Amino acid sequence: GDESDFIKGKIRIAAGSIKMIQDTVEANDIVLVGDRHDETLIDIVDQGISCLIVTGNGRVSADVIEAAEAKHIFVLSTPYDTYTVARLINQCVPIRRIMHPDPVCFKPLDLLSDIKGTMEETNYRNYPVLENGRLVGLVSRDNLMLPERDRVILVDHNERGQAVEGIEEAKILEIIDHHRLGGIQTSEPIFTHAEPVGCTATIVANMHWQNDVDIPASIAGLLLSAILSDTVLFKSPTCTPYDKKTAERLAEIAGVDIQEYGMAMLKAGSGIGDMTPAEIAKNDLKEFQIGDYRVIVSQISVMDPKEVMDIEPQLIEAMQNICDKEGFDLSLVMVTDILQEATYLLFTGSPKTLIGEAFKKDASGTHIYLPGVMSRKKQVIPPLSEAVKRLGKN
């Protein structure tokens, strides 16, 4: 036969009688046959097949070869048995015959929760994972049957709305926090460490010392910075003697003067710089479920609140956009004056009566002034929660 020709057709195994072969074999088929009589081989050739493969080093007579040549049929003799030949042929199918021209692909950072729907719709066994056009792995349907859950420790929060996306799929091991309890549910008992202190870093630092773990100077500086920021250099009403004592010990390890370092840090982070109104509206944003209302409260601490209040109309517009797009009832922004220890509370959404009831102020505008208020956790959320209860009773 012509070795440059393409062979097409279905693969048949001629293992039955002559009549069965004649009834089964069709034109252009590829027929596998063992050591059979010449008459049988010639009958198969007469079916108009495209290729005759004689397995097990079976005998091929000159008469069979002549009959095949007359019909331009390719004849191949092989030492492999019929079963092995059939398997080898199926393993040699060109990629273009089985490969999808536009395969369903995923990226390494895709979440399982996002790709499950696609996998259910397409129902392939494996899916390529691509990064910058290169294959970096495969994800199998079998891997999703009982996937290993990510293990997570919640630090400085315990409410589902404040957790990372996909927290429902993770296994929560511990909670280290200093906020109110917000209703996270776990499938089994876990270690929980919550204290009414000014900063979670106070808890974290003391957990090191309680377990005889030394804190390097660089980590001590980070923990100290967190305490000074959260307590606004010990001016916040949430600050406790425990926070101060912990900060002093951390400052000694980090080799800094608390007052000097704290003022420099607060000054460096107090200006709005080139922040847009939308960025200010989302600065240090936290979501709360207060009664039936979804409320977000952002906070920005400044030396001079005038630079924020000068753009109040644009800021209120950005806050309202967040409510409209993300379905929140109320958006609040605390503009906290570090020097005067007071807060301008900007608000938009509804019900505004909740603001008036909580702080006993006229809430007909877009902001109220709250002297002595610096803490979202202790001076804003509790009054709002109590106001919801009072309004509900009325």
CB 278 within 8 A of CB 298: no
Are 285 and 263 in a shared domain?
no
Kindly state the helix (H) or strand (E) to which residue 223 belongs, with its residue range. helix 217-230
What is residue 212's DSSP assignment?
A: T
Are 216 and 237 found together in one domain?
yes
- Per-residue pLDDT tens for 152-207? 999 998 888 788 888 887 888 999 999 888 767 777 888 989 999 999 999 999 99
Q: Which of 86, 116, 144 is the last residue of a domain?
A: 144
Q: How much is the pLDDT for 127? A: 92
Q: List, for residues 330-373, the tens digit of each pLDDT value.
A: 999 999 998 888 999 999 999 999 999 999 999 999 999 999 99
Calculate ∠ Cα 250-251-257, nearest 5°. 170
Torsion (CA) 288, 289, 295, 298 in degrees, nearest 10: 0
Rg, C-alpha atoms of the chain: 37
Q: What pLDDT score was predicted for residue 186?
A: 78
- Residue 1 belongs to a domain: no
Cross-strand pairs, 135:
130
> For 70-81, what is the mean pLDDT?
91
Contact present, 264 and 225 (Cβ < 8 Å): no
pLDDT value for 1: 64
281 and 190 assigned to the same domain:
no
Specify burial of residue 265 (Cβ count, 10 A radius: 0-12, 13-18, 19+).
middle
Q: State residue 103 phi and psi, 5-degree precision.
A: -70, 155
Does this model's pTM top 0.85? My answer is no
Please state, rounded to an integer, the average pLDDT across all residues of the chain.
89
Cis amide linkage into residue 94, ω under 30° from 0: no
For residue 130, give Cα distances in angstroms to 19, 109, 143: 53, 10, 18
What does the pLDDT look like over 30-67, one tens digit per residue? 999 988 888 888 888 888 898 999 999 888 899 999 99
**CATH code of 15's domain:** 3.40.1390.20
Give the domain CATH number at 105.
3.10.580.10
| Residue 156 shares a structural domain with residue 140 | no
Q: pLDDT digit string (tens) for 256-308?
A: 999 999 989 888 877 788 899 999 999 999 999 998 999 999 999 888 899 99
Q: Which domain holds residue 203?
A: 152-268
Q: Answer yes or no: do 166 and 255 share one domain.
A: yes
Residue 317 pLDDT level (bands cut at 50, 70, 90): very high
Sign of CA dihedral 94, 97, 102, 108: negative
Whether 193 maps to a domain, the answer reads yes
Q: Is residue 363 part of a domain?
A: yes
281-288 contacts, C-beta under 8 A, 24 or more apart: 281/315, 281/318, 281/319, 281/322, 281/331, 281/333, 282/322, 283/333, 286/157, 286/162, 286/376, 287/159, 287/161, 287/162, 287/328, 288/159, 288/161, 288/182, 288/381, 288/384
Domain match, 286 and 182 both: no
- Tokens 């400052």 sit at which residue? 251
Confidence at residue 121, expressed as pLDDT on a 0 to 100 scale: 85
- The answer to whether residue 5 sits within a structural domain is no
Tell me if 300 is assigned to some domain. Answer: yes
CA 7 to chain centre: 49
Does a structural domain hold residue 345?
A: yes
Both 327 and 256 in one domain: the answer is: no
Domain boundary, last residue among 236, 268, 300: 268
Instruction: Indicate whether 305 and 368 sit together in one domain.
Output: yes
Same domain, 328 and 346: yes
- Res 125: pLDDT: 87
**Residues 318/278, Cβ–Cβ less than 8 Å:** yes
Helical (H) or strand (E) element with 95: helix 95-98
Same domain for 91 and 107, yes or no, is no
Give the model's pLDDT for residue 386.
93
Q: Is the model's pLDDT at 378 over the cut of 70?
A: yes
217 closest CA partner among 244, 249, 245: 249
Same domain, 190 and 239: yes
Write down how long the chain is. 394
End residue of a domain, out of 268, 295, 322:
268
Both 181 and 221 in a single domain?
A: yes
Residue 43 lies in a domain: yes
Q: What CATH number does the domain containing 377 carry?
A: 3.10.310.20
For the chain, the domain total comes to: 4
Asked if residues 367 and 347 have their Cβ atoms less than 8 Å apart, the reply is yes
Q: What is the mean pLDDT of residues 240-254?
A: 96
What is the pairing mode between strands 171-177 and 191-194?
Answer: parallel
From its phi and psi, is residue 276 left (phi > 0), alpha (psi between -120 and 50) or beta?
Answer: beta
Residue 106 three-state SS: strand
* Predicted pLDDT of residue 92: 82
CATH number at residue 219: 3.90.1640.10
Answer whether residue 4 is part of any domain: no
Contact 94, 103 (CB under 8 A): no
